[in-house]
Structures are given as structure tokens and as C-alpha cells.
């Protein structure tokens, strides 16, 4: 079975008929305080994360929905919903989408004074170990995409020996499990993002499948897993994008992308410069994916973007810079969130699809 991706408002999501809901693998949605209550009316069989964050613009695209596309199949195969540990998931014969939320005050976390490992590192290790155990148990060996959200990403708790920034604590936990579970394949790491919200548990969504994937890197950037030690004792475990063929479609899952060249942040305190550099990096990733694919398969100008904005006051500048870059209004949702480096003001992610592999040059 293939995959179809749609972007809807929360109201549109709630109003979809049951036949449509029965095709949903999972979703990632941003909602305000009132939206959290409304989200409870969504079909409970659908694994989804509803993240409390201010949607600054583009509320009509605030929910990214991944659906099982049965158009190429002679017979329809129903989705199977399940739970394992703290994970809720849905899968068909080819794809699995799952979500897990783990509070750092959970009884699973050891908070004794002598424990050198922070609550966030422990929560990360527990969550990722559960994820990879599930995928091994159900036979979905390839992860295409992770979405990671946590509170106070640039802060430090003061409860571990090194008083590390929380994003670095997260990276330690994630890397430890990748290595332990035999997932640290270097050249074949999945796409990912990691963003900071005002509060809430560590929340992770993931998409995995049986078809192999190709990790895509940005020629303008050092691979994240090769970052120097100045960015923390454990490097981030992700690639810049993942290219995968699912049935008759090529899909490109682009990681959260920011104003980084080599491994250094550029245009500090300059939102226009950071936005422009981020768009250049996105174009570089798409160009590399098209090179690997062997033709102009993906076109960034047709993408729906999720734009994470540190300061709401920067919204107008970001939107104008994006309009100038693409020469037209783009589809995007702008969400207020903190980025993994304190000096970064913006991060953009996207998912691109090709209509048919047969159209590739």
C-alpha cells in the first residue's frame, strides 16, 4: 500500500467521515488550549499527537495526516490499531505510524539523588527502546521519520552531573538506544526534527515501513552524526532527509532544517538572513534527492511547510522572505516553538511526494 499526506485544520479533521478516518495511519497536529479538548473528539483508534503550541498562521494546515493509499491495490487491507507499552500505533502490510508520550515525572524514571542521568535522558531512552522493540516485534525494520517534542529544549535541569542543555541530554539518550539496538547505521539514519514547547511530556511520533530507505544529506552541511564535540558529548542521530519508494510514489521526508552551513549557525540575530539560508539548505537537500533519484522528481515550490518560529514578532519577515524566494504564496503552517540551538530563530521541515515513479527521468 502507498501513502497519502493531507494537511487540514482541526475543525476539518474532526468533520471527516468514518470511511476517511479508517484510512488514517496517524497524525501530527498543533492546537491551542481549546483545541486540546476538541482533539479528544477525534477517533480514538487513530494514533496522533496534539501539541500545545501557538499557531501563528496557516491554521488550515495545522494537522499533518498520513493516510494509507489503497488506490493501487486490487483488494483493501484494513488498518490494524494496537498498543504496546506506552506506544499507540496503526499499521498495514507496509507501513506503521506510532506515537509515545512519556512524562519526565513518570514512575518509570529514577530520580534518586545519586542517579547521574537526567529525567529527560532516561525518558528518551525508555521511549526509543520501546519504539525499536515494537518495530522489531512487528517486522518494520526501516524508520523513515521521527518527530520529537520536549519542554524547555534549550534549558538545563541541573539534575545531571554536567548540567547539560536539555537538547544535549536528549541526544545522549537517543544515541545510546540507537547504538544498543543496532540502529546506528551512520549513512542510513532516519529524518527527524526536535523542537521545544512551553511544557508537556516528551512526545515522539514515528513512521516506519518495510521498504528500504535512502538517507539524503546536504552537501552544504556536515552530517549531523559527524558534528564536533562542541555540540555535545553525543551527536544527533538523524539524516537531513529520507527518500523512500512506497508503492508507486517516491516520498521525501525532510528533517527540520535551519541556517547552518558546515556545522556552524549563520546570521545570528538576523531573521531574514536565517530564513534565506534555511531555504537555500532546503533547495540543496531537494537537489541532492533528485540527483539520487535520477530526475527532477521533487519540487520544493509545491511543498507544504511546517515552519517553527522562535519569536512571534518575526512572522511577517519570515513570510515575506518565503514569498520572495518562491515568487508566490506557499502553503505553510507557522508554529511558535524553540529550536535545538538557542541562536537559531527558525526551522523548516517538509514532506514531498512524487505522483508516479515511472515519471522519473
Helices (H) and strands (E) in the chain, counts: 7, 19
DSSP assignment of 211-260, as one string? S-EEEE--TTB--GGG--GGG-SS----BSEEEEEETTEEEEEEEEE-SE
Angle between helix 315-326 and helix 271-293 axes, rounded to 10 deg: 40
Residues 256 and 144: their CA atoms lie apart, in Å, by: 14
> Distance (Å, rounded) from C-alpha 182 to C-alpha 332?
36
Query: Could you give the CA distance from residue 20 to residue 173 in angstroms, rounded to a whole number?
Result: 37
**Whole-number Å distance between alpha carbons of 177 and 234:** 12
Output phi, psi for 106, to 5 deg. Answer: -60, 150
Please, which residues bridge with residue 330 across strands? none
From the candidates 64, 125, 217, 347, which is the catalytic residue? Answer: 347
Task: Give the integer Cα–Cα distance in Å for 266 and 281.
Answer: 12
CA 71 from centroid of its chain's CA atoms: 26
Residues in a beta bridge with 350 = 254, 305
Catalytic residue check, 347: yes
**Side-chain half-sphere exposure of 322, counting CA atoms within 13 A:** 25
Q: In 10 A of CB 236, how many CB atoms?
A: 23
SS3 13: helix
Which residues fall within 8 angstroms of residue 168, CB to CB, at 6 or more apart?
A: 231, 232, 233, 234
Catalytic residues: 347
Amino acid at each position: 500500500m502507498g501513502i497519502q499526506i493531507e494537511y487540514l485544520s482541526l475543525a476539518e479533521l474532526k468533520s471527516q467521515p468514518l470511511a476517511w478516518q479508517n484510512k488514517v495511519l496517524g497524525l501530527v497536529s498543533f492546537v491551542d488550549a481549546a483545541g486540546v479538548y476538541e482533539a479528544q473528539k477525534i477517533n480514538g483508534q487513530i494514533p496522533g499527537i496534539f501539541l500545545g503550541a501557538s499557531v501563528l498562521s496557516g491554521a488550515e494546515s495545522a494537522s499533518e495526516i498520513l493516510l494509507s493509499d489503497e488506490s493501487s491495490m486490487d483488494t483493501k487491507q484494513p488498518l490494524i490499531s494496537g498498543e504496546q507499552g506506552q506506544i499507540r500505533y496503526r499499521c498495514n502490510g507496509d507501513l506503521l505510524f506510532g506515537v509515545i508520550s512519556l512524562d519526565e515525572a513518570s514512575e518509570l524514571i529514577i530520580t534518586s539523588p545519586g542517579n547521574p542521568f537526567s529525567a529527560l535522558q532516561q525518558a528518551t531512552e525508555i521511549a526509543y527502546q520501546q519504539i525499536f522493540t515494537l518495530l522489531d516485534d512487528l517486522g518494520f525494520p526501516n524508520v523513515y521519520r521521527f518527530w520529537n517534542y520536549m519542554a524547555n529544549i534549550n534549558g538545563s535541569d541541573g539534575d545531571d552531573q554536567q548540567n547539560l542543555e536539555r537538547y544535549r541530554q536528549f541526544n545522549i539518550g537517543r544515541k545510546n538506544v540507537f547504538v544498543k539496538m543496532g540502529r546506528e547505521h551512520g549513512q542510513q539514519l532516519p529524518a527527524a526534527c526536535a523542537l521545544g514547547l512551553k511544557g508537556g511530556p516528551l512526545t515522539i511520533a514515528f513512521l516506519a515501513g518495510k521498504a528500504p530507505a535512502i538517507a539524503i544529506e546536504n552537501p552544504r552541511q556536515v552530517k549531523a552524526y559527524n558534528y564536533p564535540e562542541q555540540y555535545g558529548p553525543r551527536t544527533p542521530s538523524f539524516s537531513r532527509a529520507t527518500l523512500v519508494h512506497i508503492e508507486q510514489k517516491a516520498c521525501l521526508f525532510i528533517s527540520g532544517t535551519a541556517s547552518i552551513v558546515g556545522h556552524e549557525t549563520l546570521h545570528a540575530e538576523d531573521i531574514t538572513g536565517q530564513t534565506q539560508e534555511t531555504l537555500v539548505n532546503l533547495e540543496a537537500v531537494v537537489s541532492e534527492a533528485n540527483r539520487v533519484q535520477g530526475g527532477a522528481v521533487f519540487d520544493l515550490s509545491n511543498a507544504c511547510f511546517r515552519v517553527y518560529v522562535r519569536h512571534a514578532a518575526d512572522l511577517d519577515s519570515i513570510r515575506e522572505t518565503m514569498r520572495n524566494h518562491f515568487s508566490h504564496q506557499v502553503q505553510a503552517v507557522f508554529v511558535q516553538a524553540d529550536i535545538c540551538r538557542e541562536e537559531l530563530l527558525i526551522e523548516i521541515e517538509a514532506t514531498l511526494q512524487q505522483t508516479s515513479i515511472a515519471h522519473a527521468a
